[in-house]
Amino acid sequence: MSLRVTDVKMLLGGRLVEGGISIQDGRISRIGKTLHLPKSETNIDGKGLIAIPGLIDVHVHLRDMELAYKEDFSSGTLAAAAGGFTTILDMPNTKPPTTSEERLREKIERAKATIHVNVGFYGALAESAIELRAMIHAGAIAFKLYMNEPNPEAWHHDPRRLLSSLEESASLGVQVACHAETGAEVAKIQRECQAEGKNSVRDFLRAHAPEFEAEAVRRITSLSRRVRASVHLCHMSTQRALKEISIARRAGTAVTCEATPHHLLLDQKDLSRKGGLAIMVPPLRKTSDARALWRSLAEGRVDVVASDHAPHSLEEKTATDVWAVKPGIPGLETTLPLLLTRVKRREISLNRIVQALAENPARIFGLPGKGRLAAGTDGDIVLINPKERFKIDSSTFYSKARFSPFDGLECVGRPVTTIVSGRIVYDRGEIVEKNRGEVVTSEVRPRSSSSTAC
Ligand code: DOR
Ligand code: ZN
Ligand code: ZN
């Protein structure tokens, strides 16, 4: 099976170059002048379009199983294809949660038949070294730690126990992605508010205070430094947290971080306007926080943009009691257009966007063959039209979550064609071919000689 994109602008080595791309049997076989490319079974005329590597979203809640009413593997990966993502990493806070090798195997088996882009799976960070190894061998791409767990008795709230789990993860050479909010503190304020009948957005913001994020960043980076673990901090939302990251980096900690489009582009004024539809954790912050995040992204201190695609039903988003609103918003179908709009306004470069949405995710999460356009890499490509204008309309989403705080916003630039392993999966609003996704697994890369990867 061969495919060719001709007369297209390609983002190569940070520059736009005119030419074409050949894909043979799922991999890029050649990049060069259109005239020099071999003939192929399928030809795409790329005039007016830009080819970038298939995007990688390292933070997606695909749900499925008992939460399939919110999203399932099929609807979530269709949303990914429509948004230009060819690989996504699924979070373990599902029902049932991905807390063991057995649960992970069940999930992978179920996903195999119904995914339309590539999917990797997180396992929940476990205390047991045996379980951690078993999950990696069953295919987990990384581990996820929820520091916002409200139960103060949870094993990972004990620094010694967490340290040993981080050490094991380091020896397995995998990332630990982390939701950085100190759960016991958040839960305490929430309980107090609930006892006093306080249930407004302002109360929600008080419970999810910026200092709880900064404190969690301090705790996890200082532990990971001690055992040389690599932590990836999810959805950073405040200037204070970014400052803690800088301090940790200066002290030699291997830490990477991500920002979401909503924390980059929205703030608490949007939250007052949109109410539950703009509730997520961590919550939207001050304008100054969003600006600081944006600066850090533009300057390369924020490594990754991830959507934190967190679908819920409309009923779950519109409860009047703020504590009953399920936090999270869909993001797979809005992330790329929102960022391309900022490229058009010259607020950031296309190259920087592609680094944050493809190159860096591939490097950080160990996905060789993904995240860049080069001969020999996987045939995962997105063609974008940088000039197309459209309004975000959540009623057209492939995701089951048909709401968005960005609804009605005019964007310039959108994905036109999404190619997975050399097959056209999505083209100009339509799904062309289904079930082309593969489950991606981590390569086990033991870092310490004492660890035996078996
Ligand atoms: O807003 C959020 N939604 N934040 C999280 O950490 C979890 C997520 C979800 O699973 O809905
Ligand atoms: Zn989170
Ligand atoms: Zn999340």
What are the average pLDDT values for consecutive 10-residue runs of the chain, which has 454 residues? Answer: 97 96 98 96 98 98 98 98 98 98 98 97 98 97 98 96 98 97 97 97 97 98 97 98 98 97 98 97 98 98 99 97 98 99 98 98 96 98 98 98 98 98 98 97 55 34
The reply to whether 393 belongs to the active site is: no
Residue nearest ligand 1's atom 9 by CA: 310
Q: Which atom, in ligand 1's list, is nearest to the CA of 148? A: 6
Output the 3-class SS for 217-271. Answer: HHHHHHHHHHHCCCEEECCCCCHHHHHHHHHHHHCCCCEEEEECHHHHHCCHHHH
Q: What is the CA(92)–ligand 3 centre distance, in A? A: 9
Distances (CA, A) of 33 to 25, 108, 122, 183: 20, 40, 40, 55
- Taking the alpha carbons of 270, 84, 122, 248 in that order, is the dihedral positive or negative? negative
- For ligand 1, is residue 92 a contact (CB within 6 Å)? no
Catalytic residue among 57, 64, 72, 308: 308
Judge whether 336 and 83 are in contact, CB under 8 Å: yes
pLDDT of res. 433: 97
Q: Which atom, in ligand 1's list, is nearest to the CA of 329? A: 1
Q: What is the CA(440)–ligand 3 centre distance, in A? A: 19
pLDDT of res. 443: 64
Name the phi and psi angles at 334, rounded to 5.
-115, -20
**How far is 273 from 26, CA to CA, in rounded Å?**
46
- For ligand 1, is residue 313 a contact (CB within 6 Å)? no
Q: What is the CA(59)–ligand 3 centre distance, in A? A: 6
Residue nearest ligand 1's atom 6 by CA: 281
pLDDT of res. 222: 98
Q: Which atom, in ligand 1's list, is nearest to the CA of 312? A: 11
pLDDT of res. 454: 33
pLDDT of res. 442: 79
- For ligand 1, is residue 279 a contact (CB within 6 Å)? no
pLDDT of res. 444: 55
Q: What is the pTM of this model?
A: 0.97
- For ligand 1, is residue 328 a contact (CB within 6 Å)? yes
pLDDT of res. 208: 98
pLDDT of res. 450: 36
- For ligand 1, is residue 179 a contact (CB within 6 Å)? yes
Environment of ion ligand 3 (residues, CB < 5 A): 308
